């Protein structure tokens, strides 16, 4: 297994944290557009890095780690 796959998975999990944060900020701050852009960008990058990680790591393992990081 590639070490880059695990790095991609960790990065995907960190971006997973960004999109709910962006959505929450869009409801409470005056920076609505930038918060929505943050959420959309984080969502897209999270999916991209998860996809890259799943090329080497089994889907069940990758999904469990990804959601675990996102929930932390």
| Structure tokens given for 29 | 């701050």
Q: What pLDDT digit, counting tens, does each position of 26-68 carry?
A: 888 788 888 899 999 999 999 999 999 999 999 999 999 999 9
Q: How many domains does the chain have?
A: 1
Q: Which domain holds residue 31?
A: 3-71
Q: What pLDDT digit, counting tens, does each position of 1-13 carry?
A: 688 999 999 999 9
Mean pLDDT of 9-22: 92
pLDDT at 23: 87
pLDDT at 10: 94
pLDDT at 1: 61
pLDDT at 30: 81
């Amino acid at each position: 297994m590639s070490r880059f796959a695990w790095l991609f998975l960790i990065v995907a999990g960190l971006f997973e944290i960004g999109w709910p944060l962006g959505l929450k900020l869009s409801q409470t701050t005056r920076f609505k557009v930038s918060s929505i852009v943050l959420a959309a960008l984080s969502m897209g990058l999270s999916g991209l890095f998860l996809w890259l990680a799943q090329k080497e790591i089994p889907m069940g393992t990758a999904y469990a780690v990804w959601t675990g990081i996102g929930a932390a």
